[in-house]
Amino acid sequence: MGAHPLRYRPGMPRNRQDVDRDAKIAEIREAAVGLLRAGGYPALSHSAVAKELGLARTAVAWYFASKDDLFAAALADIYAADLGTPPADGDVMVRLRWAVERLTALQPLTHALHERARHSPAAAELEAALQNSLCTRLRALLAPHVAADRLDRVTTTVVVFVEGLLVQPRTTPDRLGLLEFLVTELIGTPGRS
């Protein structure tokens, strides 16, 4: 699409224009977040956002050209809000449980993200960022309890397992029980090669 010049109308100060644009984008993202939280990916559409903001359908498309661009932007906001502030205290299992429960609540949206990532670059980018963030955080969490030469594989294994946990709906005790079983199996033997 090419770069947008920072301003268009001569009389308008540069900063003000920027503020306006960012504020509008924020409005759109907020509306999209609301729709996603209420009805998941199917409930999100240019029309629905436009209706909420009193705009034409295509006005939203000016800022987010495709539905998946809009989806990725809104979902990034949701992840930031829901996963951004982990508990400061607590042991490994407490923190792990917190993350898994948060991710469970977002399961349908994460599901849609994986689905769309195969078609949309924006979705693929967010998918990679999420994966990366989860791995990094989990690695730091496990580092004190796992031998250095096993850390990478254990981390990836747990992340993959957690992703698998979210695929099918399960009861909370079920989920947490399975998680605890795996972690103690992998962590409980720090000496093994």
Quote the tokens at residue 5.
């010049």
Residue 156 binds a copy of itself (CB under 8 A): yes
**φ/ψ of residue 146, rounded to 5:** -125, 140
For position 169 contacting a copy of itself by CB under 8 A, the verdict is yes
The one-letter amino acid at 183: V
- Whether 93 and 183 have beta carbons less than 8 Å apart is answered as yes
Residue closer to DNA, measured from CB, 45 or 157? 45
**By CB under 8 A, which span of 24-32, 47-55, 65-73, 175-183 interacts with a copy of itself?**
175-183
Shortest Cβ distance from residue 160 to DNA (Å)? 30
By CB under 8 A, is residue 62 in contact with a copy of itself? no
Decide: is 34 part of the binding site for a copy of itself (CB under 8 A): no
Residue 154: other Cβ atoms inside 10 A: 19
**CA gap 69, 63 in Å, rounded:** 9
C-alpha pair distances (Å), 127 with each of 8, 91, 108: 35, 27, 14
Applying CB under 7 A, among 8, 11, 191, 192 the residue interacting with DNA is 8
Assess contact for 92 and 145: CB atoms under 8 A.
yes
Q: Does residue 3 belong to the site contacting DNA (CB under 7 A)?
A: yes
Q: How far apart are CA 85 and CA 190, in angstroms?
A: 29
Question: CA dist 171 to 7, 99, 104, Å?
Answer: 53, 16, 10
- Judged by CB under 8 A, the residue of 112, 141, 142, 146 near a copy of itself is 112
Question: Which one of DNA, a copy of itself, none is in contact with 108 (Cβ closer than 5 to 8 A by kind)?
Answer: a copy of itself
What three-state secondary structure class fits 3? Answer: coil
Give whichever of 115 and 180 is closer to DNA, judged by the CB atom.
Answer: 115
- Contact with DNA (CB under 7 A) among 31, 33, 36, 68: 68
Residue ranges that bind a copy of itself, judged by CB under 8 A: 108, 111-112, 114-115, 118, 127, 131, 153, 156-157, 159-165, 167-169, 178, 181-182, 185-186, 189
